[in-house]
Amino acid sequence: MDMGCKVLVFFGLFFTVTAEIYIVTMEGDPIISYRGGDNGFEATAVESDEKIDTTSELVTSYARHLERKHDMILGMLFEEGSYKKLYSYKHLINGFAVHVSPDQAEMLRRAPGVKSVSRDWKVRKLTTHTPQFLGLPTDVWPTGGGYDRAGEDIVIGFIDSGIFPHHPSFASHHTAVPYGPHPSYKGKCEDDPHTKISFCNGKIIGAQHFAEAAKAAGAFNPDVDFASPMDGDGHGSHTAAIAAGNNGIPVRMHGYEFGKASGMAPRARIAVYKSLYRLFGGFVADVVAAIDQAVHDGVDILSLSVGPNSPPATTKTTFLNPFDATLLGAVKAGVFVAQAAGNGGPFPKTLVSYSPWITTVAAAIDDRRYKNHLTLGNGKMLAGIGLSPSTRPHRSYKMVSANDVLLDSSGTKFNPSDCQKPEVLNRKLVEGNILLCGYSFNFVAGSASIKKVAETAKHLGAAGFVLVVENVSPGTKFDPVPSCIPGILITDVSKSMDLIDYYNVTTSRDWMGRVKSFKAEGSIGDGLEPILHKSAPEVALFSARGPNTKDFSFQDADLLKPDILAPGSLIWSAWSENGTDEANYVGEGFALISGTSMAAPHIAGIAALVKQKHPQWSPAAIKSALMTTSTVIDRAGRPLQAQQYSETETVTLVKATPFDYGSGHVNPSAALDPGLIFDAGYEDYLGFLCTTPGIDAHEIKNFTNTPCNFKMGHPSNFNSPSIAISHLVRTQTVTRRVTNVGEEEETYTITSRMEPSIAIEVSPPAMTLRAGASRNFSVTLTVRSVTGVYSFGEVTLKGSRGHKVSIPVVAMGQRR
């Protein structure tokens, strides 16, 4: 499992010889879109961006009716005991998950009232200082009453690996004002099956787990996966604390404090919907059930580090599958959804989040870097990484290689150079010296860890350790790891060779190669303090890139993704003491890890702050505010850069494009007061789907229960705060509609720019909007020359009262 986006994969799952899990959708509307007419049941549909009243008798009776219909069709088709229904989906989609044989699935496919049968597929993870980097303590939290009110009464739901409820980041006593009952959230709290104590405490307001599909597949092991919301991985606790962890929690490891951690919205409530697990990831049937329950319970924000990794065989388009259809229902119910973009970068078309109703988050490197150095006895200084204290100042230590300090009987049983087993090394030769170890493939595979090297060195009384990288695959990523004793990882192979050459020259041996005397010396620097860089933010190498794709043939979509960039590299946050997903943090209370999984909860937490200030705003309005106020300039005033591979496959920096960062890097303070928003609702999303070439209108109706409306004309006319045209022939005009959400009338000047191969014009050049008023403007793009590559530009609306919003433009000119 990857530490970063938890991702969806197609898989055959066996219960008996041939039984598998299928997600079945049925004719008839789910609760969110039912407008009456079925056996006298009254309408339960909500308007776009409106929450479901799940306590009403209308809703509960129609929900029972749908579940009875699910049970009825299964009972009519199959003998009792030959199938197992896992879930009934009633709120966002009408259907169920069932464990049956492929032959039974085919019978379901042909049965009256069944719209689709999709085989389930698996999911895996997409895997402090950032509040200050984003300006939250000085520019954002004070506008909502300070950190102890930031996110008040906003509920963020986490579809992840659970939570470690005993962590101080989630404690209810770490706040000056006690948490009272929430006015509208209706979720439940499971008890710990061992202690019988509730997982909830006021801060954590809901905690449930979903594992029926995992159990049916035979993948669930209660000893390590925990049949409760307990986090057996670490990832779920990490993401929850990034978005909504308590403010000012000391990050302590190995006796050193690395700073104080805080969530983006430290007063927000946390609702846990565990559907991801350490060893196998998870299953879409469980994830869909978790999302359905979260919306039923009344969450305001959903933070998802999951996305499709391989295409479901039953849908041609990236936008239509049970997962995305469920999220469309969530957004219709007024829930803002932040999803990790994926960790397949820096290669194009690696996104795993596609749909316009989702806010797709790319990962940035912030301004904090950790570096260290090893000084050799010959005066050479070798750069490396290691979150460790220095060896004693003004003193050098002998260096001994693990291969040269083996106990006689141990050499053939283990790979001693990776320093994982202290019992195979000679303590008398290691004690008081610096132990040299080799960074083998075992570290990449996860069977060896830097944490274990440090423990070995400490157990043997070493003054410190050095890990030497002699061979490296292109793009291998090395992160600093906290260490209890002085330690450093030399990641540059040429520097490693310098060290090895120095060691070999200074170490005398007998005719059999055994060491007679160790003469190599060195000292390890202090790697605990970060260095702040003005080049931040930068797009992280691993962050998935556009262009977006509309189908699983990877045809380009007329929709820009990712949407926005947020911190996602080397993020300190809470960890579960039960967490075993990262070998270097087993048993620890905090972890420093990277991934778009870390970026998505940053946006979820910031969205909670926007929602707190503007409680009536739709998910699209919140997304617009975040995107249009983002920045494409780094701290040094230069255009954003992205990590990329050079021709020699080393990592370098190049000028970033919207396919790397979307609209730009999030700017929370500006997002609270954008001036203008590009709003959209359920009908707009349907219009986008219906006008996208290649999508079958019947398939759209299957998933949305709504006939197509083609008034939008072209998907590029979807009112997104970005413009993307993948196939621009001659000239095309697109329309956007903005709404003044400021308190006063304001006049906006509209300007545009584009790379030379495509001409751009906007109309009108200026417009005045009263508070609350909306107006359209048009953007015309004309091909000047066909280059075979995308051209980039932007449209900027600058207001007379200081507001400024910008939207990115991407287009590729074609001859026909």
Sign of the CA dihedral running 486, 491, 494, 497: positive
pLDDT at res. 128? 44
Share of the chain above pLDDT 90, in %: 62
Percent of the chain past pLDDT 70, that is, above it, reads: 91
Give the pLDDT band of residue 167 (cuts 50, 70, 90): very high
Which of 262, 597, 716, 806 is labelled catalytic? Answer: 597
DSSP codes, 733-749: EEEEEEEE-SSS-EEEE
pLDDT at residue 119, rounded to an integer = 87
**Would you say residue 409 has pLDDT above 60?**
no
The Cα–Cα gap between 290 and 66 comes to 18
**Are the CB atoms for 360 and 615 separated by under 8 Å?**
no
Identify the band that residue 5 occupies on the pLDDT scale cut at 50, 70 and 90: very low
Residue 316 pLDDT: 75
Identify the weakest region by mean pLDDT among 146-155, 191-200, 659-668.
Answer: 146-155
Mean pLDDT over all residues of the chain?
88
Higher pLDDT, 104 or 408: 104
Tens of pLDDT along 499-554? 999 999 999 988 888 889 999 999 999 888 777 666 779 999 999 999 999 887 88
Catalytic residue, chosen from 129, 209, 235, 602, is 235
Active site residue 533: no
Distance separating alpha carbons of residues 771 and 18, to the nearest angstrom: 62
From 2, 29, 160, 660, active-site residue: 160
- Band of pLDDT at residue 124, cut at 50, 70 and 90: low
pLDDT tier for residue 714 given thresholds of 50, 70 and 90: very high
- Of the listed ranges 94-108, 373-387, 694-708, the one predicted with least confidence: 694-708
User: Which of 249-258, 565-574, 797-806 bottoms out in mean pLDDT, i.e. has the lowest?
Assistant: 249-258
Higher per-residue confidence, 330 vs 698: 330
For residues 15 and 82, the model is more confident at: 82
Residue 129: what pLDDT? 44
- pLDDT at residue 7, rounded to an integer: 37
Cα–Cα distance measured from residue 74 to residue 153, given in angstroms and rounded to the nearest whole number: 41
Cα–Cα distance for residue pair 538/369, rounded to 1 Å: 12
Res. 325: pLDDT tops 60: yes
> Is 308's pLDDT higher than 60?
no
In angstroms, the Cα distances linking 101 to 17, 82, 106 are 9, 9, 9
- Give the pLDDT of residue 259: 84
Among the ranges given (254-263, 469-478, 559-568), the one the predictor scored with the smallest mean pLDDT: 469-478
Confidence at 177, pLDDT banded by 50, 70, 90? confident
Please tell me the distance from the alpha carbon of residue 253 to that of residue 258, in angstroms, as a whole number: 8
pLDDT digits (tens, 9 = 90+) for 461-502: 999 999 998 877 665 678 888 888 999 999 888 899 999 999
pLDDT of residue 442: 82
152 against 667, higher pLDDT:
667
What 3-state class would DSSP assign to 7? strand
Chain length of the chain: 816
pLDDT over 80 (residue 412): no
What's the whole-number mean pLDDT along residues 415-438?
92
Annotation says 597 is catalytic: yes
pLDDT value of residue 332 = 93
Q: Give the pLDDT score at 317.
A: 83
Q: Does the pLDDT at position 611 exceed 90?
A: yes
Mean of pLDDT values over 197-204: 93
Q: What is the pLDDT of residue 31?
A: 92
pLDDT band at 205 (very low <50, low <70, confident <90, very high): very high
**In this predicted structure, what is the pLDDT of residue 8?**
37
CA dihedral 81, 84, 88, 89 (to 10 degrees): -150
Tell the burial category of 458 from Cβ atoms under 10 Å away from its Cβ (0-12, 13-18, 19+). Answer: middle
Q: Kindly tell me the number of DSSP H helices and DSSP E strands found in the chain.
A: 18, 42
pLDDT tens digit string along 330-372?
999 999 999 999 888 899 999 989 999 999 999 999 867 778 8
Q: Which residue has the higher pLDDT, 725 or 306?
A: 725
Q: What is the pLDDT of residues 82-110, one digit of tens each?
A: 999 999 999 999 999 999 999 999 999 99
Closest by CA to 606, choosing from 589, 619, 622, is 622
